[in-house]
Structure 1
Amino acid sequence: MATHFPDSVHISTHPCLRAKLSQLRSSSTNAADTKRLVHEIATLIACEALEDTLATIETGTDESPLGYQYTTQDITPSHISLIPILRSGLSMLDAVQSLLPSPVSVHHLGMYRDKGTLSAVEYYNNLPQHRTEEGAGRMDLAIIVDPIIATGSTVCAAIETLRDWGAPRILCLAVLATEGGLRRAADVWPEGVELWVGGVDPETDERGMIKPGLGDIGDRLFLTVGK
């Protein structure tokens, strides 16, 4: 029976993404290939999410190399910020940046999951001290990138932090999630958040790890397995 999620939850059905996710699951996939696959999956997810979220506006005219005039275009909203969750969120950053037509601000959030309570603990916050309507500090769209949504504690904490700071709209991009983690994240701020993920597994184990999942993706990316 198909699992039904809120309208704010989007799960990719792209065949290439599905195949790459299957490769990423393998315990035999080395760190270099893990990094490459996360980047490629993040690119596919971001393409789908940004197509649905952004719009095109005309900005003026320019001239082609042959001397023909054409109408220039850009995206709206233009004030976008990327919010990678340290440390594994860094692996998705380049993929999203490469799709956007202009550089955007990057504000890191450092969070880890307490092994006893499975709750998120924030240890670093690089959001601007003050939110402004124009110029530095303006954020019309915040894009959270983190490969895994397991219990949902971390992404929920990130959403709450950005909502309380004043972000009017949030996209959350993840490679893999659980059903429960997605529902929990979708319930935090239904009117302000859209979640885009590459795949969904049913549940976590007693350690809060996704089954069958991807293992500890941060450890796999940074060669710290068994630390």
Structure 2
Amino acid sequence: MHVHHLLNNNSIANKFIAQLRDTSIQNDRMRFRRNIERLGEILSYELSKKLNYSSEEITSPLGISKVSVPKDEIVICSILRAGLPLHTGILNYFDDAENSFISAYRHHPNDDKEFEIKVEYLASPSIEGKTLVLADPMLATGRSFVNVMHALKEMGTPKEIHLVAVIGAEEGLKLLDDEFPPHTHLWIAAIDKELDSRGYIVPGLGDAGDLCFGNKKQH
């Protein structure tokens, strides 16, 4: 797997990550969602450099210009519900992409640190031969990405796979490297070293879905 770590180089993305983590700013849900959206835009710009392009002749009022434009058929698949602002950021740049949505959540059957990832809803076009952009802001254990990819198999085999995340843990990255094809690309803003006893990223930022949309009733 090819890992593209945004914070390896200083950019305005650092500011957005800092605000997402900051407990004094997190209570502003609109700002939290917007920062995830903006990081989705930045990550999409970087991702766009790896797409396939073809030359087209564009007619302007004063003549003809040759421009290289993306030719990939893109499907953006986001994991509900925390993935919605990230999805919006990606769609802002790939505005003619098809869209896919899937639910994946942690289920703690014994109310302890053990959990399973449940996938219960999928609405998706065919991904056969297309470029799949799979988005989830938090890459903790990596099991959500893996389970969602298994669920998408009935929709076809994509030509290319790009994973997009805001913050991840090294353990999750290792699982993705083991489970996804070697030519898969991961676009991620920040990578933290560890998970806590319940599988949450440390220092991370907390529950992205709750911070975006409010607390949910626990399953």
Task: Name the TM tier (shorter chain).
Answer: 0.7 to 0.9
Any gaps of 5 or more consecutive residues in structure 2? none
Question: In structure 2, what is the Cα distance between the partners aligned to 1:177 and 1:45?
Answer: 14
Q: Does the residue aligned with 1:181 lie in a helix, a strand or coil?
A: helix
Matched, 1:199 2:193: no
Distance in 2 between residues matched to 1:115 and 1:157, nearest whole Å = 16
Q: Kindly provide the CA deviation profile for residues 30-57 of structure 1, in whole angstroms up to 9, marking residues without a partner as x.
A: 2111011111122112211221x21321
> Residue 150 of structure 2: which of 148, 160, 171 is its match?
160
Aligned with 1:122: secondary structure?
strand
What count of residue pairs does the alignment treat as equivalent?
209
2:100 aligned with 1:107, yes or no? Answer: yes
Pairwise mapping of residues 35-54 of structure 1 onto structure 2 (< 5 A)? 35-51=33-49, 53-54=50-51
1:12-67 deviation per Cα after TM superposition (whole angstroms, max 9, x unaligned): 1242212221111011222111011111122112211221x2132113x33212x3
2:21 aligns with 25
What's the offset of the Cα at 1:139? 4.6
Q: How does 1:75-94 map to 2 (within 5 A)?
A: 75-77=70-72, 79-94=73-88
Q: Quick one: which amino acid aligns to residue 111 of structure 1?
A: A
Change in Cα spacing, 1:171 to 1:184, as seen in structure 2 (3 Å) is: same
Which whole-Å deviations, capped at 9, do the CAs of 1:126-169 have from their partners, x for residues lacking one? 123xx4xxxxx655110011100011110111233335632232
Alignment of 1:208 onto 2:199: yes
Tell me the distance in 2 between the aligned counterparts of 1:226 and 1:166: 35
Counterpart residue identity of residue 106, structure 2: R
8 Å contact 1:119–1:154 — kept in the other structure? no
Gaps of at least 5 residues in structure 1 are 1-6, 132-136
Identity value in percent: 24
RMSD of aligned residue pairs (Cα, Å):
2.0
User: 5 Å matches for 1:171-190?
Assistant: 171-190=162-181
Indicate the SS of the match to 2:118: strand
